[in-house]
Structure 1
C-alpha cells in the first residue's frame, strides 16, 4: 500500500483554481522534490495534503482519507515544516523540539526513553545542541528554522512534508539538511520537499514532481526532468548541466530574453 495516494486533487482559492486535478502516489523511502515556478501551486498542494485547505478529489494517507482523520492520528503519520518558520513562543529550544512528540504521548504521560532519544537525535542532527537551553525566540532566523525542522524530525512520522526547508539556511546547513533527508529516506521514511534551488533538487532528490499553473506536468528522476529545454521553458533561464560522480549538477547561468 502507498503511504500517500493523491487522485484528481483540485484546490480553489478566491474562485481561482490553484491546484488542478493532480494525481500521484508516494511509496516508502522516497525523497521527492516538488518543483515549479512561483505561483505554480506547490505550497497550496502541501496544505491540501494536510487537510488545512478544502479540496476536491482524494488524499489518502496509508489508505485513509486525510480530511477524515483526527488531527492526532494525522500527526502520527504526517509531519510538516511550514514555510513561515518564525518562533514567537518564549520556550526553550529543547521544549520546542519536544512538541514533535506530543501526538505520540498517552494522556497524562511524560516523555519515555524513546521520546527523549528521538528529541536528542533530532537536536544533534540539526547541530543545535549548544542552543537547547536558550529561548527559541532569541535565535536568528536560520537557527529558528533549524529548531522547527528538528521538531518535525523528532515527530518520527512515515511521511514528512517540507515547504522550502532550506530557505534562510547557509550553504553548509542546506547541504546538511539535504543529507539528513536522504538518510531518512534511505531508512524508509518519505519526504516531499518544495524546492526552488534546482541544484539541490538535482543532487539530492530521488524523484521530482513538476508543477506548472497548478497542473502536474512531469514526474520522474532528476536526470529525466531537469533537461535544459524544460528548465528554459518553465523558468526562463539557461543552465549549466553536467553529470558528475557525485550526481547531477544544475546551475542557472542567465535569463532568457
Structure 2
C-alpha cells in the first residue's frame, strides 16, 4: 500500500527545506499554492503542511503564513572525565566556554526505583531513589533534558540528598558524592537515538516526530553505582564530543 498523498507532498516540501531551496525564515507557499502545484485538494495540502509543522521543519504564524524554522547553531557538549571532575556544574562550564548563559530548572522527589533503573544502580526494584528531573537551558531556551536517580540508602540524611537544594546545590554529581565520602572512579555512557516522546518534544520545543539522542550515564565508585541518568539531547542543536584518557604503562 502506497504512502498517503499528503505524506508524499510533505516529503517533497521537506526535501526542499533540507536542500536549501526554502531557506530558514522563508515563507512556505500558501496551502492553495501547494494544492495547485501538486494537483491535490486543499485538505491534502493543509495536512502536508501540518506534517512539517509537527516535525518541526516549519512554524505557523497566525495571519501571516507558514515559515521555515530558523536553524539554531549547533553547539558542543563535551563528554570527558576531565569535564566531570572539575568543580561546579560541568554543563554551565560547557555553556560559558561558548559564550552561552547556561542554567536549569529541576524538581526532585523520592520514588521507588523502576526495574531498569534498579538494574543500573545494582539495587532492588522498589528501593527508594531520589529522582531529579532537569530542563537545561542556554540563554533561557530549553536545550537538553535529564532525569537522574540516586539511591537514598547513600544520600538519605546527608546535606546532598537534594541535588539542587541546600549549600551544595548546583555542583556536579562527582563533587557532591565526594563530599559524603563516595569517590567516583568511573562513568559509563551508552548513546542511542530514538523518536522524542511527546512530553520531551514539548519541553524542548521540537517537532513531535523529531529524533533525539539519549545518553544513558551511570557513575560508579570502586564498590558500586551511585547515580544513573537519562540525558536527552536534540541532535540538530548539539553535537557530542568525547575526550578519553589514554594510559601508557
TM-score by structure 2 length? 0.25
Per residue, is there more helix in 1 or in 2?
Answer: 1
TM-score by structure 1 length? 0.24
Q: Which has the higher contact order (CA 8 A, sep 6+)?
A: 1
Which is higher, the Rg of structure 1 or of structure 2? 2
